[in-house]
Structure 1
Amino acid sequence: MNLLTGVSELDRVVTQQVARRVPPGVGRVLSGVEEAAESTKLWCGAAVAMACLGGWRGRTAAVAGLAAMTVAQLASNGVCKQLADRPRPPKEWFPHDEADDRPDSSSFPSGHTAAAVAFTAAVLPNWRAAGVACAVPAAMVAVERVQSGAHYPSDVVGGAAIGLASAWFVRRIPRLALRHWL
């Protein structure tokens, strides 16, 4: 068995298990958090709250989070989805009707997860408590993307990797710019 076959089989098994094992009430909560995160509303709202309530630290965390989220969105939705063109998981894998309401774009990577992880990972070094608080809905968004049938687990892992790389990049930009101009 080659690596891609192994990943595909693992994707199938994990997706079907998550779809079957998440209780309906938990699924509704996950869907509510995902709906709040749709079009980055949740993360923009968190940034506004941080900027208003957190003083200098809050404003720094908010700017870093929004910048990383923007980079992640451009990388995941603007580049990777255009290159990957992966179909969504088959609807028959899901015992609920949420799989009927999903985008037509490429499944790989999860842009929702990329944005959530980028925002959280960029906020964390600037304001630890806010970053930890953001990690909870970010994890919920990632699980919901698999549970709802929108993504395979490997799409979510790919989105998380893009999010982490985006946060790292945004954190390094000032240092790289100073090296270049000095």
Structure 2
Amino acid sequence: MIALSRSTSKGQVWMGVAAILVASGGNARRGAVRGAVVLGASTLVASRLLKPLFPRNRPPENAIPGTRRFGASPTTPSFPSAHSALAAAFATGVAIESPLAGYLIAPLAAAVAYSRVHTGVHWPSDVVAGGVVGVSVALLTRRLWSADSAAVE
């Protein structure tokens, strides 16, 4: 869980998954593009807008057994979980264009969200709020960019 949690910092895992989807072509390629766009948008909403508004402290480091501990807690506010927002946004963005690819990615997104609680860097409510932010941002893109008219050559 620690490795999974660290590997998703700054969206690296999601960009790797996007590269695989781009290579797949068709709806999966369009999903990768939408997923990459919503990564940036959900980062702005979660990290730049909401974290400063809700400067919640992270769980105490001594509350998590040493084998599960992430290490030194991040210094940014806990609420909402930006990792969870990115995971939910990417999976939802992909699913808008390619439901099958979205369903295949959803377990990875859920594992990322769970890893943030498991490693002690977020409260469960941080992860739920991050998920809501991510899904909302992805769904909002449908108002600006119709799935029917999305075309990537």
Under a length normalisation based on structure 2, what TM-score does the superposition of the two structures give? 0.89
- Greater helix percent: which structure? 1
**Percent pairwise identity:** 33
Runs of 4+ off more than 4 Å? none
Give the aligned residue type for 1:43.
W
Asked if 2 retains the 8 angstrom alpha-carbon contact of 1:51 and 1:59, the reply is: yes
Partner of 2:114: 143
For residue 169 of structure 1, the aligned residue among 134, 140, 145 is: 140
Partner of 2:44: 74
Give the aligned residue type for 2:84.
T
RMSD: 1.6
Residues 98-107 or 78-87, more deviating? 98-107
The 3 A distance-change label for structure 1 pair 35 and 147 is same
For residues 54-112 of structure 1, the C-alpha deviation after alignment (integer angstroms, 9 at most, x for no partner) is: x2312210111111111111000011111111111112211216253221000000000
Q: In the aligned structure 1, how far is the partner of 2:126 from the partner of 2:5?
A: 16
How many residue pairs were aligned?
146
For residue 19 of structure 2, the aligned residue among 48, 52, 55 is: 48
For residues 9-51 of structure 1, the C-alpha deviation after alignment (integer angstroms, 9 at most, x for no partner) is: xxxxxxxxxxxxxxxxxxxxx2222222121001011111101
Partner of 1:159: 130
Asked if 2 retains the 8 angstrom alpha-carbon contact of 1:88 and 1:106, the reply is: yes
Q: In the aligned structure 2, how far is the partner of 1:111 from the partner of 1:92?
A: 23
For residue 85 of structure 1, the aligned residue among 51, 55, 58 is: 55
Q: For 1:24-63, what aligned pairs fall within 5 Å after superposition?
A: 30-53=1-24, 55-63=25-33
Gaps of 5+ in 2: 147-153
Under a length normalisation based on structure 1, what TM-score does the superposition of the two structures give? 0.75
Asked if 2 retains the 8 angstrom alpha-carbon contact of 1:67 and 1:170, the reply is: no
Residue 124 of structure 1 aligns to a residue whose secondary structure is helix
Gaps of 5+ in 1: 1-29, 176-182
Larger radius of gyration: 1
